[in-house]
Amino acid sequence: EVDVPESHPRYESLLTRHRIEDGVDRGITSRQGLIAQGRGEAYDYLLGERTLESADRAERAAAAYLLRADHAVVSVNGNAAALVPGELVELAEATGADLEVNLFNRTEERIRAIAEYLRDHGAEEVLGLEADGRIPGLDHERAKVDADGIGDADVVLVPLEDGDRAEALGEMGKTELVVDLNPLSRSAQVATVPIIDNIVRAIPNVTAHAREMADDPEAQRAAIEAFDADEALEAAERAIRDGA
């Protein structure tokens, strides 16, 4: 399906781009999602297309928060679904989190398409269609969540979330785990755990950390203790500026 030779120096990047295009064709990714992908790629390039040590610590802390949650929810948008559908299902399984489709540019059709795509990749239950809860402080369409999903969650993982909604979720008192390649993005700045990494690398690594710490509450506590959000944001910014 993809006509990119594996030997191409930017193979991963081109493959990722193709998945987003394919997501648009399938009706799961919005056209706005193409723009978001472009922004992400630019930051990934500047970060050296690698997982920084500080991002790995963030991914480990995120795994710990998910494992320790009373009710964890992994929020899924059109870009996340197109890029890492199976990996999101595995993460939910490894941590006991729910999956909820939650879109910035919300259409019922796209929510259904994403839910079906996740089920094709092994998800059993996918939330997001009830939309019977609201995030306070946002306009009507942007505020919709499932009352027994994100509405009820104490910990939410939001990949590529919009800054306004990230802020509003934080104000609801939720522990927010944000994946965003831009350390200057408001979403990253307001997160309890900003994961400055490509979602393609981040999600499988959170799952790996979760599996490793699943039966080890002491390791979970230590992972949270070892993580400092401001330090992680600074480390990412330094990596961009100095390549360090």
**Span interacting with Mg ion, options 38-46, 177-185, 191-199, 219-227, rule CB under 5 A:** 177-185
Residues 6+ apart with CB under 8 A from 79: 20, 23, 29, 33, 36, 37, 159, 160, 199
Question: 112: annotated binding-site residue?
Answer: no
Q: Which of 59, 87, 80, 90 is nearest to 158 (CA)?
A: 80
Whole-angstrom Cα distance, residue 95 to residue 92? 5
Nearer to Mg ion, 35 or 147 (CB): 35
Which of 19, 29, 30, 40 is close enough to bind ligand ATP by CB under 6 A? 40
Residues 6+ apart with CB under 8 A from 64: 209, 213, 219, 220, 221, 223, 224
CB of 216 to ligand ATP, least distance (A): 28
Identify residues 91-150 at the interface with ligand ATP (CB under 6 A).
none
Terminal CA-CA length for the chain? 37
Binding of ligand ATP by 18 (CB under 6 A) = no
Out of Mg ion, ligand ATP, none, which partner does residue 76 contact, by CB within 5 to 8 A per kind?
Answer: none
Question: 148: annotated binding-site residue?
Answer: no
Which of 185, 189, 192, 207 is close enough to bind Mg ion by CB under 5 A? 185
130 burial class (0-12, 13-18, 19+ CB within 10 angstroms)? Answer: middle
Identify residues 143-182 at the interface with ligand ATP (CB under 6 A).
160, 162-163, 179-182
The single-letter code of the amino acid at 185 is S
Q: Which residues are annotated as a binding site?
A: 17, 39, 180-182, 186-187, 198-199
Binding site for ligand ATP (CB under 6 A): 36-37, 39-40, 43, 79, 83, 160, 162-163, 179-182, 185-187, 198-200
Q: Which residues are annotated as a binding site for ATP?
A: 17, 39, 180-182, 186-187, 198-199
